[in-house]
Structure formats: C-alpha cells, structure tokens
Amino acid sequence: MADTTNHRLDRIEEKLDKLATAMVSIARAEEKIAAMQEFQHNQIERVNRLSVKLDDIEKKVDENHRTVCLINKLVYAALIAAVGAYVAQYFT
C-alpha cells in the first residue's frame, strides 16, 4: 500500500511540475503579447504622426502649385508682351 501511495504522490508531483512549467510558459507568452501590443500601439502612433505631416506637406504643395501657376502666367504674359512689342517695333 505504501508503494501505491508513493507512486501516486510521484505522479502528482510530476503533474504539478508540468503545471508549473505550463504556467511559466503562459506567463512568457503573455509578456510577449503585451510587448507586441505596445509595439503595435507605438507603430499606430507613428503612422498617425506621419499622416499629419503628409497632410501638411499636401497643403504646402497645393500652395506652391498655385504660386507656380501664377508665375507661369506672369512669365507668359511678359513673354507675349515682349514679342508683341518686338513685332510692333518691327512693323513700324
């Protein structure tokens, strides 16, 4: 009877050891998941900041586009006026 009791106690100890190992593995997995969630949160914040910067750049590009279009129109007008003056002087 003592043999069966010892055998049962050994089996219980083995199961407890396996359970402790499983608990440690679960704790490590939870730590990894927490680290991954923090990394994901940081990446989302970074993407949001980049999105804001991209919006600012888009506004500046639109403003620059308008300015360049205006300068092009002024240059064309000056060029046409110069050619017109040259032609007018040529015919007179």
Question: 2-34: per-residue pLDDT in tens?
Answer: 778 888 988 999 999 999 999 999 999 999 999
Length reported for the chain: 92
CA distance 61 to 53: 12
Residue 9 CA to its chain's centroid (Å)? 55
SS3 1: coil
Give residue 1's pLDDT band: very low, low, confident or very high (50, 70, 90): low
At 72-85, the pLDDT tens digits run 999 999 999 999 99
Q: What pTM does this model have? A: 0.60
